[in-house]
């Protein structure tokens, strides 16, 4: 199964497009000399004579051992943008960066091109505690590979290949046991890098490097079914297992796939997740099904959200199991959407606090550059991903977002458009909007917010074409979902474990309508059924409160305690709720719309 992305998927979803455009502006806003500062400094090409007030701070400061890591993320994000839009500004800026990196590599002797000194790697070989140099260098490799693939820049591959020669010699200095000790120091996605480069070049050195970077101390216990994750740093191991996923794609060796499957079982299925879909507190995995004691101020590190989404996407492509897409939907709505691009101006949050009552801590554009800063620009570079997949004569619709996808079946070009019908009957978007106010039946038919979501798919084809249209039914539906073909009911189903399959000869302007019943659900903690969070569809709701609150209920159903609040404004139905029986009352809104307000996600109910 292959994902359809790039120019073949055009987004028309407003919020996704807003985020993509803001992300592109941010990438262009970051000055090239500062992006390259650590690389120029290491190569002796930096001419700075003292402190520079305009230089990037945080982890990009020259005093930090992880300096320079962000450039790799920048390159990957620029490549993702270019793959979708062919933006000439980003391409030109990337070409300047590649030219400078090439000069740095030359001045460093022809191989080393990293923002940190080579001795860091030799030091970890001697057991000295240095802050994750391979994690840092992985980001540059990743960016170069993405630029080569998506921007078709051969210079990027040349730089990466020469740098790999250095790693081949360096890693060959050690015995297996000595290198296993080195692998215990966070390596980031180096295994994935070697698998990528082996796929691209076919060179034997990369196959050898894949074998050297096989972390047996993690992978073998996983294969034995042991819990090797509880209280362990999460984002050390997720990239390593992503490397196993890529190694399986490249080699076809089943052992790599088994490691990924066992990791998913250990990290997600056996462990459980927060209502958001995310995990971790203080960057470490929680104990299995024990989340109550881990509701803190440092939950759900953004990097773990981004990387676990990538892992789920890989497993979906292997299995076609919609459960992985259910997982991705929760993490997108309550992770990526909730932790980046604050509606009130903040750029991102490292963590998403679950403790009552908490606030998100928003980082600025130039003052942090911690790890999540990098995954933030990647996550917001390509919102047209994870929507559509194709395998032979099957087209899979995996996410619901206004968009259109172009694909081929039996050599015939077909376009599918997806649009949400908001059933609001009005184009009025603000108090100053003078849109034509046509009298229509929709306005009165849906006086209140509909209790279902409606999506309409339209087929555009010049020739009648048979194929299977596969529709994911989200697991948050409250009742049977209904699928119509040209206004005739095709199926009613509450089976969210399988795709709805429509196999027919499709004609131009055929329409498929999907109705998804939606409403409130109370999601209890796995270790305390009297404590939980509210979700509306895939969106977690947060109560706005300065201090922790306990909800005293008058019925046994926690959902009965909330009622719709200011549900309509101008032409828009909104997702706002309030409590019925609390004094004082509590207002609820979507977690991904929380800016600087104090909030509470998990509530004790009595």
Mean pLDDT score, 510-527: 98
How large a percentage of the chain has pLDDT more than 70?
Answer: 98
Q: Is the pLDDT score of 442 beyond 90?
A: no
Q: Yes or no: say if 410 and 462 are a contact pair by the CB < 8 Å rule.
A: no
Domains of the chain by residue range: 390-421+452-517, 520-605
Pick one of 3.40.190.10, 2.40.30.10, 2.60.40.1180, 3.40.50.300 as the CATH number of 390-421+452-517. 2.60.40.1180
Q: Is the pLDDT score of 214 beyond 80?
A: yes
pLDDT tens string 92-108: 999 999 999 999 999 99
Q: Check residue 441 and give its pLDDT.
A: 75
93 vs 437, residue with greater confidence:
93
- Among 369, 331, 325, residue whose Cα is nearest residue 352: 331
Q: Is the pLDDT score of 262 beyond 90?
A: yes
CA distance 74 to 87: 15
Distance of CA 365 to CAs 55, 332, 377, Å? 11, 22, 11
pLDDT tens string 66-101: 999 999 999 999 999 999 999 999 999 999 999 999
> Residue 204: in which H helix or E strand, if any?
helix 204-212
Q: Check residue 337 and give its pLDDT.
A: 98
- Mean pLDDT for all residues in the chain: 96
pLDDT tens string 316-370: 999 999 999 999 999 999 999 999 998 788 899 999 999 999 999 999 999 999 9
Q: Is the pLDDT score of 427 beyond 80?
A: no
Number of Cα atoms under 13 Å in the Cβ half of residue 544: 13
């Amino acid at each position: 199964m292959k994902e359809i992305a790039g120019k073949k998927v055009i987004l028309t979803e407003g919020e996704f497009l807003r985020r993509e455009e803001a992300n592109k502006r941010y990438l262009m806003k970051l000055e090239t000399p500062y992006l390259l500062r650590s690389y120029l400094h290491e190569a002796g090409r930096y001419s700075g004579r003292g402190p520079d007030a305009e230089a990037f701070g945080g982890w990009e400061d020259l005093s930090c051992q992880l300096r320079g890591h962000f450039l790799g993320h920048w390159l990957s994000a620029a490549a993702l943008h270019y793959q979708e839009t062919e933006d000439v500004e980003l391409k030109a800026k990337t070409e300047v960066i590649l030219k400078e990196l090439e000069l740095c590599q030359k001045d460093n002797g022809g191989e080393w091109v990293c923002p940190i000194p080579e001795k860091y790697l030799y030091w970890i070989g001697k057991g000295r505690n240095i802050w994750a140099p391979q994690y840092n260098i992985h980001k540059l490799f990743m960016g170069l590979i993405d630029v080569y693939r998506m921007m078709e820049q051969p210079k990027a591959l040349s730089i990466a290949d020469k740098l790999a020669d250095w790693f081949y010699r360096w890693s060959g200095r050690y015995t297996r046991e000595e290198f296993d000790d080195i692998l215990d120091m966070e390596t980031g996605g180096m295994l994935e890098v070697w698998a990528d480069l082996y796929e691209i070049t076919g060179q034997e050195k990369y196959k050898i490097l894949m074998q050297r970077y096989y972390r047996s101390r993690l992978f073998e216990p996983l294969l034995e079914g042991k819990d090797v994750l509880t209280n362990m740093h999460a984002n050390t191991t997720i990239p390593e297992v992503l490397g196993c996923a890529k190694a399986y794609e490249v080699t076809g060796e089943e052992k790599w796939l088994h490691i990924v499957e066992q990791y998913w079982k250990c990290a997600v299925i056996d462990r459980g997740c927060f209502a958001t879909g995310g995990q971790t507190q203080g960057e470490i995995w929680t104990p299995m099904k024990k989340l109550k004691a881990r509701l803190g101020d440092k939950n759900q590190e953004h990097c773990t959200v981004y990387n676990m989404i990538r892992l789920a996407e890989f497993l979906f492509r292997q299995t076609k199991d919609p459960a992985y897409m259910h997982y991705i939907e929760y993490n997108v709505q309550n992770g990526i959407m909730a932790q980046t691009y604050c509606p009130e101006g903040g750029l991102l949050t490292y963590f998403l606090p679950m403790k009552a009552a908490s606030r998100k801590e928003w980082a600025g554009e130039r003052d942090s550059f911690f790890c999540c800063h990098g995954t933030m620009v990647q996550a917001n570079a390509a919102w047209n991903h994870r929507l559509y997949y194709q395998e032979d004569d099957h087209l899979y619709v995996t996410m619901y977002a206004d968009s259109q996808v172009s694909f081929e079946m039996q050599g015939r070009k077909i376009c599918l458009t997806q649009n949400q019908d908001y059933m609001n009957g009005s184009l009025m978007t603000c108090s100053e909007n003078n849109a034509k106010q046509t009298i229509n039946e929709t306005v009165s038919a849906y006086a209140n917010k509909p209790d279902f979501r409606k999506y309409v798919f339209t087929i555009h084809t010049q020739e009648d074409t048979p194929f299977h249209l596969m529709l994911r039914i989200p697991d948050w539906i409250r009742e049977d979902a209904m699928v119509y073909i040209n206004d005739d009911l095709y199926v009613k189903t509450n089976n969210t474990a399988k795709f709805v399959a429509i196999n027919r000869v499709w004609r131009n302007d055929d329409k498929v309508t999907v109705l998804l019943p939606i409403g409130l659900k109370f999601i209890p903690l796995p270790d305390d059924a009297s404590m939980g969070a509210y979700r509306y569809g895939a969106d977690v709701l947060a109560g706005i409160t300065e201090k922790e609150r306990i909800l005293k209920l008058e019925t046994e159903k926690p959902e009965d305690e909330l009622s719709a609040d200011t549900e309509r404004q101008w032409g828009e139905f909104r997702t706002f709720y309030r409590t019925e029986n609390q004094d004082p009352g509590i207002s609820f809104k979507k977690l991904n719309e929380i800016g600087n307000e104090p909030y509470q996600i998990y509530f004790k109910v009595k």
